[in-house]
Homo-oligomer: A and B are copies of this chain.
Amino acid sequence: MSKYMTRQRKALLDYLSAHADEALSAQEIAAALEREGVSLSAVYRNLGGLEAEGKLRRASKGSAREVYYQYTDADACKGSLHLQCKKCGRTFHMDSSGAEQLLGVVEKAEGFAVDKADMVLYGVCEICQD
């Protein structure tokens, strides 16, 4: 795991915090950070590290082929279910109780233990529903 807090790692963490709950591609992140002197490989390596530490989730927007990274270390993410809007790309949280309830239903009905950490529901948010 991360041992040194380098300028590059800090820049990445800052950027991710500032854009929490947005689905960002590695390329977008790299582009934003290259201006601050962070190389592409540093981005990829740190992203990989964070993912391994579970502070980041790798997801794919709908059925697109692109891979997105999402910072999930924030408090709001604890135990809550993620709802991602396919239009604006923003992520919403469903509170723990509601989430637990949902998962409970699936588990009882199908005997299937849903992994909350890996779970993202795609759809259209309230705001984008014109």
Contact A115:B102 (CB < 8 A) given known A57-B63, A60-B60, A63-B51: no
CB atoms of A114 and B123 under 8 A apart: yes
Within 8 Å CB of A101, what residues of B? 105
Among B92, B102, B105, contact of A112 (Cβ-Cβ < 8 Å): B92
Within 8 Å CB of A77, what residues of B? none
CB atoms of B112 and A125 under 8 A apart: yes
Q: Tell me the dominant secondary structure on chain A's binding face.
A: mixed
Docked Cα-Cα span, A110 to B85, in Å, equals 12
CB atoms of B118 and A63 under 8 A apart: yes
In angstroms, how far is the closest chain B Cβ from the Cβ of A128?
Answer: 9
CB atoms of B57 and A83 under 8 A apart: no
Question: Which residue on chain B has the smallest CB distance to residue A125?
Answer: B112
Docked Cα-Cα span, A124 to B123, in Å, equals 23
Enumerate A79-119 residues with CB–CB distance to B below 8 Å: 83, 85-86, 92, 94, 98, 101-102, 105-106, 109-115, 118-119
